[in-house]
Amino acid sequence: MAILSDAHKQKVKEMFDAQLKGPVEVLLFHVDSDEQTSQFTDATREIVTELAALSDGRITLKEMPLADHANVAKSYQIEEVPSMVLLGEGGTDTHMRFYGAPLGYEFMVLLEDLIDVSSGKTRLSDPIRQQLQAIQHPVSIQVFTTPT
């Protein structure tokens, strides 16, 4: 079952054609046997699969069942499933993580992040970049949403 309508697919395709530059690999960590998270895993898989199909091969999805990839998940500090790790060109870890399904407002954030990762830069202003470079300790920013 498609999540995106034909009209939305067309808009995403146009956006990707204009702005998606290099490759982005999406690692999807999940647990196949967990009924509680399976609906979110299925939705996430479907969304990324649809986006990949619209990207002319620039976005790829790699399934990472925890039973087979626990050490890889640990190396990316994955603590919840389903979760996505966005990797840039050459497998560069962008430190961007999505937990749960990117539905609702999170969908646009995912689109923007995929584009940013593909170009290797963000759209942050220079003053914000300077403020971020001045941070001397690890920072974790988490945004929580309620599924609809």
* pLDDT tens, position by position, 31-46: 977 677 788 899 999 9
Q: pLDDT of 85-110, one tens digit each?
A: 999 999 999 999 999 889 888 899 99
Among the listed residues 113, 137, 110, 135, the one whose alpha carbon sits nearest the alpha carbon of residue 124: 113
**CA-based R_g, the chain, Å:** 16
Question: 134: phi > 0 → left, psi -120 to 50 → alpha, else beta; which?
Answer: alpha
Instruction: Using the structure block, give the residue that is written with the tokens 């593909």.
Output: 118
Please answer whether residues 48 and 59 qualify as being in contact, where contact means their C-beta atoms are separated by less than 8 angstroms: yes
Average per-residue pLDDT for the chain: 91
User: Residues 52-59: what's their mean pLDDT?
Assistant: 97
Which pLDDT belongs to residue 148?
A: 53
How many C-beta atoms lie closer than 10 Å to residue 78's C-beta? 21
pLDDT interval class at 77 (50, 70, 90): very high
Backbone φ and ψ of 147, nearest 5°: -65, 150
Which pLDDT belongs to residue 104?
A: 83
User: Residues 129-138: what's their mean pLDDT?
Assistant: 90
- What's the order of all strands across the beta sheet hosting 93-99? 59-65, 24-30, 83-87, 93-99
